[in-house]
Amino acid sequence: MQNSPFSSKQNDHDSGFYLEFLQTKEQIEKNRIPNVKTVLVVFPSKGLAFDAEGLRSMITREYPGSEVFFLSTSGKAWKSPKIPSKVDLAIDFTGEGQMQGWFFARKIKSRAKFVVGRNKGIFRKRIYDRIFDETKITISTDMLDRERLAQKEVLALAGIAVVPVAGTTVDRSKIIALDLPPLQKH
């Protein structure tokens, strides 16, 4: 059997990727909040990385039986029935430079037992329970990449894993053939 110099490197890379993903998943499970029955999600005014039904699916997978409500940054319900006055968990995706009222963060905190969000806005670090601080890491200048990373990290702080199922992988079509044993002649 002929060994390819690329196959072991590729397998190590794949193994490393999935081991890192498992470690991240374990950390996310530690972030899970107990007794969550209602979740309020505040959409950003630009650059939403996940659609509403995808978010609802991810949240109900991690918090079975929970009801999910959506709110815009202007404070209006979005494709949701009437939002209750008190919720168990609020997830605020609002980022820097996105329109929001002056005391919007305080209003969200008064409605929710537990709030997770981004550190972009006035006094959110003191108001919210868990904060993703974008200033401590290097983020792409592309708005959609930045929003995707930030929203994924906010969901992780809320105990919701984002499974990378749609990402593309390296083309291994030429390498796979090198790993196969040679054909036998009869």
**Kind and range of the H or E run holding 131:** strand 130-132
What end-to-end distance do the CA atoms of the chain give, in Å? 18
Average pLDDT, the chain: 77
Cα–Cα distances (Å) from 152 to 5, 28, 155, 156, 163, in that order, read: 35, 11, 5, 6, 10
Cα–Cα distances (Å) from 1 to 6, 109, 172, 180, 184, in that order, read: 15, 63, 18, 7, 12
One-letter amino acid for residue 142 of the chain: D
**The pLDDT of residue 79:** 74
Cα–Cα distances (Å) from 70 to 9, 31, 181, in that order, read: 44, 22, 55
The stretches in the chain having pLDDT less than 70 are 1-14, 17-18, 21, 80, 97-101, 121-122, 139, 163-172, 174, 186
DSSP at 166: S
**Within a 13 Å sphere around the CA of 129, how many CA atoms are in the beta-carbon half?**
17
**The pLDDT of residue 39:** 92
**The pLDDT of residue 121:** 65
